[in-house]
C-alpha cells in the first residue's frame, strides 16, 4: 500500500503540472493561489515540489526505508533554511 501511494503521488503531481503548463487559464489560477509558495520561474516550469516528490519516491524505492526517511528529513529541514539564508 505504501509503495502504491509513494508512486501515485508524484505521478499525480506530474499530471497536474502538465495540465497547468498546458492551459494558460489554469496556470494563472494556480499561480494566483500559490503565489507565496512559488519562485518566479516556477510560473512557467515544473515546481520544486514536483521534483522533490519524484526524487523522494526514487530514494524510497532504491534505498533502505530508514535511510531514505532520514535523507528526506534533512531535505525537508535544509531546503527551507537554505532558502531563508540565501
Radius of gyration of the chain from Cα atoms?
15
The pLDDT value given to residue 84: 85
Number of structural domains the chain divides into:
1
Give how far Cα 16 sits from Cα of 12, 50, 56, 62, 76, Å: 6, 10, 18, 25, 22
> pTM of the prediction?
0.78
pLDDT tens-digit readout, 26-48: 999 999 999 888 888 888 999 98
Domain that includes residue 55, residue range: 2-85
In this prediction, residues 46-73 reach a mean pLDDT of 91
The pLDDT value given to residue 79: 85
Amino acid at each position: 500500500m505504501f509503495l502504491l501511494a509513494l508512486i501515485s503521488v508524484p505521478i499525480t503531481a506530474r499530471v497536474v503540472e502538465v495540465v497547468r503548463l498546458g492551459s494558460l487559464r489554469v496556470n494563472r489560477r494556480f499561480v494566483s493561489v500559490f503565489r507565496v509558495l512559488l519562485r518566479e520561474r516556477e510560473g512557467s516550469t515544473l515546481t520544486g515540489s514536483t521534483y522533490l516528490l519524484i526524487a523522494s519516491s526514487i530514494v524510497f524505492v532504491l534505498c533502505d526505508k530508514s535511510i531514505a526517511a532520514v535523507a528526506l528529513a534533512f531535505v525537508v529541514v535544509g531546503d527551507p533554511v537554505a532558502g531563508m539564508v540565501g
